[in-house]
Amino acid sequence: MTTAEIAQHASFDDIRYAQLWEDADVLIDALGEQRGKTLVSICSAGDNALAMLLLDPARVIAIDLSPAQIACLEIRMAAYRELDHAAFLELMGSRPSQRRGELLDRVGARLLPATQALWAARRDTVIAHGLGGVGKFERYFRLMKQYLLPLVHSQATIDAVFASRPQPQRARFLDERWNNRRWKLLLRLFFSNWVMGRLGRDPAFFEHVEGSLADHVAGRLRHAAVDLDPALNPYLHWILTGTHGAALPMAWRPENYEIIRSRLDRLELRIGALEALVESGERADGFNLSDIFEYMSPEVFSAVYGSTLAAANSGARLVYWNMMVPRRVPPAHAAKVRRLEAEIERGRAADKAFFYSDFVVEEVL
């Protein structure tokens, strides 16, 4: 199964991710100096491809098997061009709004008819939750927030998660106030492989997973709630509150908005498989590969990894995440890259998107 063939096993018709759940801060740091270079990004919702423009590359190629995911980036680009920053945050769902329908109409007028139709079909959901809330993964968390979390914790306890406090107090809060029996039961049921596979991601994405997702999430939550300051975590904010609070993903921050807006013409959007870059003869200097490798068998991972290397210039960096399936450079290609240990350790320590168990940075020799 290549990345193209995975479409036969997983559905790509709908929006799976309406926002990025991988931390652009650690991605941008790991990619290093890329001024004037060519970068490649798995598109997903497009936020990290937009953040990569902050590296001042000559171009960023955003590629995805899913037309719906490409449409997420298309409407973001239109929003950057049409709206000021405050209105952008309202449309995305980071801030409350009474005018999302009006903002959606303004931005939609810049889109091609087929993309307009895709977003018109989701108009009510956009008005209710913002562009960042319309995906399958976001609906999954909304079910928990609306129906299950109120049975576990009071609103006062949820709000208290985001009060800045020293690390020892964060550990005490997690252990003594948050991790009660009801929360542990919710973890076991709602964050099971079966439930997330059907309500949040896709069953095909768990084909190579071994072990318990609930145990994994419980362990990673300690990283997000104790090792890091939850008040600064946009991903945890959205999961528990449905907005970003005072924290924002990198591409949505006010200090980055105009820079990204001025560089939108450097983005190239493509529907298709990663291997298409090899067939086109193009080469790149940095790759944001998301977590695509853990959907693959070891044999397919090795083949796709080799295809990626064939499209990489010397010195190019490959950045990717693993959630529950360990994937690092395959043995057949180990002599062609080196692991950048300092970048890896720095990224792991700082990663606010706490689902992932591993963060990998490799450089092409």
Q: 116-131: per-residue pLDDT in tens? A: 999 999 999 999 999 9
Amino acid letter, 86: A
pLDDT band at 275 (very low <50, low <70, confident <90, very high): confident
| CA–CA distances in Å: residue 5 to residues 237, 274, 275 | 35, 11, 11
pLDDT band at 294 (very low <50, low <70, confident <90, very high): confident
pLDDT band at 356 (very low <50, low <70, confident <90, very high): confident
Sequence-distant (≥ 6) Cβ neighbours of residue 360 within 8 angstroms: 318, 319, 320, 321, 322, 327, 328, 339, 344
pLDDT at 205: 47
Question: Does 271 score more than 50 pLDDT?
Answer: yes
34 and 56 Cβ atoms separated by less than 8 Å: yes
Question: Does 254 score more than 80 pLDDT?
Answer: yes
Least confident of 10-14, 131-135, 199-203: 199-203
Q: Which two tokens stand for residue 196?
A: 């997330």
How far, in Å, CA of 203 to CA of 214, rounded? Answer: 16
Bigger pLDDT: 275 vs 123: 123
Q: What is the mean pLDDT of residues 158-186?
A: 95
Tokens 């252990």 label which residue?
175
| Complete edge-to-edge strand list for the sheet that includes strand 284-288 | 267-271, 59-64, 38-42, 284-288, 312-322, 358-364, 337-339
pLDDT at 196: 61
pLDDT at 198: 55
Sequence-distant (≥ 6) Cβ neighbours of residue 202 within 8 angstroms: 10, 11, 16
| DSSP type of residue 197 | I
Question: Does 111 score more than 50 pLDDT?
Answer: yes
- What is the percent of the chain with per-residue pLDDT over 90, rounded to a whole number? 78
Rounded (10°) CA dihedral 322, 324, 329, 331: 180
Q: Are strands 284-288 and 59-64 parallel, antiparallel or unpaired?
A: unpaired
Nearest to 135 by CA among 224, 36, 17: 17
Question: Phi/psi of residue 243, each to 5°?
Answer: -140, 180
Question: Does 29 score more than 80 pLDDT?
Answer: yes
| CA–CA distances in Å: residue 155 to residues 85, 151, 174, 244, 362 | 29, 10, 15, 16, 43
| CA–CA distances in Å: residue 214 to residues 2, 78, 188, 206 | 29, 38, 5, 13
3 and 275 Cβ atoms separated by less than 8 Å: yes
Least confident of 102-111, 180-189, 282-291: 180-189
Residue 163: other Cβ atoms inside 10 A: 12
SS3 343: helix
SS3 290: coil
How far, in Å, CA of 187 to CA of 189, rounded? Answer: 6
Q: 319-342: per-residue pLDDT in tens? A: 999 987 889 999 999 999 999 999
Nearest to 309 by CA among 292, 291, 295, 330: 330
- What is the percent of the chain with per-residue pLDDT over 70, rounded to a whole number? 90
How far, in Å, CA of 62 to CA of 354, rounded? Answer: 24
pLDDT at 357: 83
Q: Which two tokens stand for residue 222?
A: 């300690």
Q: What is the DSSP string of 80-134?
A: HHHS-HHHHHHHHTSS--S-HHHHHHHHHTTS-HHHHHHHHTTHHHHHHH-GGG-
Mean pLDDT of the chain: 91
